[in-house]
């Protein structure tokens, strides 16, 4: 914030000295309202809280039928680390695409833009509840895995955290960009399907790239979610060289930049007339 909170005394109101709002304060105010809305929306709650769990259960059988020898990983390890991807997809991407679209169609975004909150802050503030829930679910996954499923503690917790955070930013940006395809929050859920399907099948969530045919793996490497899924998997299980890690970090960053660019280019703040 520029220091323009002071107003000339005696011009309006009570002349009470005021302190400017902060980025964090504004984002928290929006995030709190968005959390209230999420808690009042049963289908959104179902998707954000239960879908990732359901997906872990459903996709586990898919992983079981794969030949995982080339990966050196067990079914359990693939499933539990792939679950981070489901969390990002359903809690962040799926939910936010529907929420952003609903706010746009209700003219909430347009109204917010007349205030002090910047464009990026509006989108980030609305994403706060999703980000918090996604983080909590990732922590739960690690706790559940290491306490009940005899999995090791994360080998590189720093990498795991970086992967989750990059993933949250990336999928929030992709959600915002994808709202250009939807007119209602219902059609947003349909419009979210292509990226969701492609990511689930191709980004290594239940089918690790190392177990894919060479040509397919090459292609799947450049899908948007692949670098963050690989980073999170390495973060928990270790086993990647520094070069591989840096490559994935770079690829994830490129996708974040592409996502932010797409938002700037295509995001609409008011409904199409």
CB of 118 to another protein, least distance (A): 8
- Long-range contact list for 142-151, CB < 8 A, 24+ apart? 142/236, 144/80, 145/76, 145/80, 145/236, 149/76, 149/80, 151/76, 151/77, 151/80, 151/236
Q: Which is nearer to another protein, 186 or 244 (CB)?
A: 186
Residue among 50, 58, 70, 107 that touches another protein (CB under 8 A):
107
Should residue 5 be labelled a site residue for another protein when binding is judged by CB under 8 A? yes
CB of 2 to another protein, least distance (A): 5
Q: What angle do CA 52, 56, 58 make, to 5 degrees?
A: 110
CB of 103 to another protein, least distance (A): 7
Residue among 50, 58, 106, 187 that touches another protein (CB under 8 A):
106
Check if the beta carbon of residue 138 is closer than 8 Å to that of residue 235.
no
Q: How far apart are CA 8 and CA 11, in angstroms?
A: 6
Should residue 28 be labelled a site residue for another protein when binding is judged by CB under 8 A? yes
Nearest alpha carbon to residue 178 among 207, 208, 205, 198 = 198
Should residue 43 be labelled a site residue for another protein when binding is judged by CB under 8 A? no
Q: Which is nearer to another protein, 115 or 194 (CB)?
A: 115
Should residue 36 be labelled a site residue for another protein when binding is judged by CB under 8 A? yes
Check if the beta carbon of residue 207 is closer than 8 Å to that of residue 66.
yes
Burial 215-234 (b: 16+ CB within 10 A, else e): eebeebbebbbbbbbbbbbb
CB of 45 to another protein, least distance (A): 13
Residue among 65, 67, 69, 114 that touches another protein (CB under 8 A):
114
Residue among 63, 81, 117, 179 that touches another protein (CB under 8 A):
117
Should residue 272 be labelled a site residue for another protein when binding is judged by CB under 8 A? no
Q: Which is nearer to another protein, 22 or 187 (CB)?
A: 22
Phi, psi (deg, nearest 5) at residue 210: -65, -20
On the 0-12 / 13-18 / 19+ scale of CB atoms within 10 A, 108 is: middle
CB of 227 to another protein, least distance (A): 34
Residue among 58, 70, 116, 218 that touches another protein (CB under 8 A):
116
Q: Which is nearer to another protein, 81 or 98 (CB)?
A: 98
CB atoms within 10 A of CB 163: 27
């Amino acid at each position: 914030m520029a220091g323009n909170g002071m107003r000339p005394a005696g011009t309006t109101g009570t002349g009470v000295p005021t302190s400017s709002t902060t980025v964090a304060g504004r984002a928290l105010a929006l995030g709190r309202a968005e959390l209230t809305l999420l808690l009042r929306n049963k289908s959104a709650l179902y998707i954000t809280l239960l879908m990732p769990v359901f997906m872990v259960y459903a996709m586990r059988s898919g992983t079981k039928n794969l030949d995982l020898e080339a990966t050196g990983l067990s079914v359990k390890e693939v499933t539990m680390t792939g679950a981070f991807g489901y969390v990002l997809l359903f809690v962040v991407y799926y939910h936010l695409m529907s929420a952003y679209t609903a706010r746009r169609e209700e003219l909430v975004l347009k109204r917010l833009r007349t205030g002090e909150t910047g464009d990026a802050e509006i989108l980030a503030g609305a994403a706060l509840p999703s980000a918090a829930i996604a983080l909590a679910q990732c922590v739960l996954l690690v706790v559940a895995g290491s306490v009940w499923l005899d999995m090791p503690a994360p080998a590189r917790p720093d990498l795991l955290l970086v992967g989750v955070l990059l993933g949250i930013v990336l999928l929030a940006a992709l959600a915002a960009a994808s709202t250009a395809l939807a007119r209602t929050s219902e059609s947003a859920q349909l419009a979210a399907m292509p990226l969701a399907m492609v990511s689930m099948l191709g980004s290594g969530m239940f089918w690790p790239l190392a177990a894919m045919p060479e040509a397919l793996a090459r292609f799947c490497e450049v899908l948007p979610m692949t670098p963050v899924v690989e980073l999170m998997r390495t973060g928990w299980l270790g086993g990647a060289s520094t070069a591989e890690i840096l490559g994935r970090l770079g690829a994830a960053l490129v996708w974040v930049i592409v996502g932010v660019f797409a938002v700037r280019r295509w995001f609409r703040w008011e409904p199409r007339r």
